[in-house]
Chain A
């Protein structure tokens, strides 16, 4: 199952290639525009309209692609109609996570709903691997429903961290080894307990 590491690795590759291409294009343009041999060129309007069409296609295609390739998008859209196998209720108050138990066991490939309530400020609810990379997150807004439906596909032990600034007192809202996922055929190699960061 695709997870955030796969998605971010792909993004890293694609955006790096794009960056290099764009820098090369501007470099080439800079050399060409001052080339004493260069002649003024008039660009046809058809090229312009083709370019605009390409921009629209790319802008829309990104979202269609991610909708189809990133599993959590559809889950998020349909979460109100999915019955979770497990509900984890979390409260946040005075910059502290109040958890149902110090360690929460989660079964592999089952829907788990994180239902988080803030009693004072806006916080974040982020699940992180042992190597500090992010699995998922949501904002936790007081007075609002903050529900995140998720399915874990790899065994591992995960940390909890606030992903939103809530004042200096919230600078270190971090709880180690809160969630333990088991029962999968594959281990999350970045989130095995005892892994050196």
Chain B
């Protein structure tokens, strides 16, 4: 078949969208938009990498920082949230063995997040609104620097994303608890106990006291426990960001209507604590919990075996949830107004527990895989191992910067952006998501064959080397003093920046190759067909055989 024919119709007939159920379609829509937003975020990243090597004439300061502002919004919300929410929208009902609570709500979720991301991006692109994702008070309402209309567009976008997020949360919780038509009424209590992982803790306790297990067969599958718990953090995070968004909107509307308000009415340090408590629930809460759950699921699906030390895994997820509520102070270790005791307890000691909770997830996943060897090195397995590697590198890097001694010389340097969160997101999180995409691919596409394994291999190696390499060179620049939000115009750190730029190019090329591989597999017709209404009037997840 010619290249053009394959591009249009797909590999070996491509994706037959007439045979997709509404649940399959809504999942694929969210994932596809998420993958496209990833590309936009990667392009923005490359613009900034190029600017760090040699200042680009088209990027003045206002433009550069507006790119820096929207880059994480597009990457985290537009890409990661959509891919994760899309996957979980399918996985939760799949694992609970019942239909999704509401397909309409799932469609509204991805549309709200996609439109919200676009609106925030436009706030940066058209108006150069650039308070960064940190939104440190009172920068978002500094109308001497920023156009209030730009702020309105940007913050409205964030609000839409959060509304979409609340829609996802409602759908997930409702799917866990609702009783489907024709089914015997499901009791809420055992579901809740299991979803919170309390049964795992009770099982350990009962074993220690020589009693029979509290629950031999937990009511909720372990990955759903992780999704449920991560979603609690997602909810709290959405509330905090929405609250800050409303506060900023009040000031914006005030400015636009000629009623300027004093921004000293809000205590900047208190605001910073509140905002970081919520925002950190993404980085140190839902991401780590969702990731642990995804690893457990992937390990079980790849091996076809039960998870090693299930009860410990359930209990550790509960611990991770509680830990995630008490670690925000590590973002304020360089704030001298923050109480030392809060820095010590929340910023250092509780944060160090993330080494334990994430370490447990890594150990359990690897042992589960090892217990089933020999395995075949499939795409899902290699991306899973790379994802684990990413977190093995990034979590200790975070623990290192969450130290009062080291933070004094690492805070706001490229160490934070490179070895810590870019390695965590690009290698740890994204490669885990690719693993999930590869393992769900046959189920979601009704067995469409991948166009090229060679392209999949290139995608893997370019992404892995690019991600780790970029983080490493940014980290080395940080050791020499490179800050993360500072423009260096005189060639400082240039060697590191060139090397990080080459790695960035590898990452970008990996995404292009992945996109080509997907497009050639399903075909343009298949891609467009995903966005049309499903012809199957069913609540089933997959079509009947």
- Do A and B interact? yes
The residue of chain A having its C-beta at the shortest distance from the C-beta of B353 within the complex is: A59
| A133-177 contact mask (Cβ, 8 Å, vs B): 1 or 0 | 111111101111111100000000000010111111101100000
The majority secondary structure among interface residues of chain A is mixed
Contacts of B487 in A (CB 8 A): 171-172
Contact of B492 with A43 in the complex, beta carbons under 8 Å? no
Contact of A59 with B399 in the complex, beta carbons under 8 Å? yes
Of the stretches B25-33, B35-43, B155-163, B263-271, the one at the interface is: B263-271
| A42-57 contact mask (Cβ, 8 Å, vs B): 1 or 0 | 1101001001100110
The residue of chain B having its C-beta at the shortest distance from the C-beta of A197 within the complex is: B492
Partner of A133, one of B65, B389, B481: B481
Contact of A39 with B373 in the complex, beta carbons under 8 Å? yes
Contact of B139 with A8 in the complex, beta carbons under 8 Å? no
B440 within 8 A of A: no
In this complex, the member of A25, A52, A137, A167 whose beta carbon has the largest number of chain B beta carbons within 10 angstroms is A167
A69 to B355: give the CA distance in the assembly, Å.
Answer: 22
B310 within 8 A of A: no
Partner of A38, one of B349, B355, B373, B406: B373
Partner of B366, one of A29, A128, A148: A29
A89 to B181: give the CA distance in the assembly, Å.
Answer: 71
From known contacts A142-B268, A163-B412, infer whether A43 and B335 are also in contact, taking CB-CB under 8 Å: no
CB of A153 to closest CB in B, whole Å: 15
A42 to B352: give the CA distance in the assembly, Å.
Answer: 29
Q: How many residues from B make CB contacts under 8 Å with A?
A: 89
Partner of B405, one of A37, A66, A147: A66
Contact of A32 with B389 in the complex, beta carbons under 8 Å? no
Contact of B389 with A55 in the complex, beta carbons under 8 Å? no
From known contacts A122-B139, A132-B481, infer whether A146 and B336 are also in contact, taking CB-CB under 8 Å: yes
Contacts of A83 in B (CB 8 A): none
Contact of A55 with B359 in the complex, beta carbons under 8 Å? yes
Contact of B130 with A41 in the complex, beta carbons under 8 Å? no
A22 within 8 A of B: yes
CB of A172 to closest CB in B, whole Å: 7
A40 within 8 A of B: yes
CB of B375 to closest CB in A, whole Å: 5
From known contacts A63-B352, A133-B481, A166-B139, infer whether A145 and B374 are also in contact, taking CB-CB under 8 Å: no
Partner of A142, one of B138, B145, B388: B138
Contact of B382 with A30 in the complex, beta carbons under 8 Å? yes
B480 within 8 A of A: yes
Contact of A132 with B480 in the complex, beta carbons under 8 Å? yes
Partner of A30, one of B377, B405, B479: B377
Contact of A141 with B268 in the complex, beta carbons under 8 Å? yes
Of the stretches A12-20, A101-109, A180-188, the one at the interface is: A12-20
Contact of B355 with A34 in the complex, beta carbons under 8 Å? no
The residue of chain B having its C-beta at the shortest distance from the C-beta of A128 within the complex is: B481
CB of A147 to closest CB in B, whole Å: 5
Considering only residues 127-154 of chain B, those with a C-beta below 8 Å from chain A are 128, 130-132, 134, 136-139, 142, 145-146
Partner of A124, one of B370, B373, B412: B412
| A117-138 contact mask (Cβ, 8 Å, vs B): 1 or 0 | 0001110101011011111111
Contacts of A11 in B (CB 8 A): 400, 406, 479
Contact of A167 with B130 in the complex, beta carbons under 8 Å? yes
Contacts of B413 in A (CB 8 A): 134
Contacts of B139 in A (CB 8 A): 121-122, 165-167
The residue of chain B having its C-beta at the shortest distance from the C-beta of A121 within the complex is: B139
The residue of chain B having its C-beta at the shortest distance from the C-beta of A147 within the complex is: B336
| The 3 nearest A-B residue pairs measured at CB | A144-B337, A59-B352, A70-B405
The interface of chain B, by Cβ under 8 A from chain A, is 61-62, 64-65, 128, 130-132, 134, 136-139, 142, 145-146, 264, 267-269, 272, 308-309, 312, 332, 334-337, 340, 348-349, 352-353, 355-356, 359-360, 363, 366-367, 369-377, 381-382, 385-386, 388-389, 392-393, 396-397, 399-400, 403-406, 408-409, 411-413, 419, 468, 472, 475-476, 479-483, 485-490, 492-493
The interface of chain A, by Cβ under 8 A from chain B, is 4, 7-9, 11-12, 15, 18-19, 22-23, 25-26, 29-30, 32-43, 45, 48, 51-52, 55-56, 58-60, 62-63, 66-67, 69-70, 72-73, 76-77, 120-122, 124, 126, 128-129, 131-139, 141-148, 161, 163-169, 171-172, 197
Using A40-B371, A120-B138 as known contacts, list a sample of 18 further A-B pairs with CB atoms less than 8 Å apart, ordered by residue number in A.
A9-B479, A11-B479, A45-B309, A52-B360, A55-B360, A59-B356, A60-B349, A134-B481, A137-B408, A138-B334, A139-B332, A143-B268, A144-B337, A145-B336, A164-B136, A168-B130, A168-B145, A172-B61
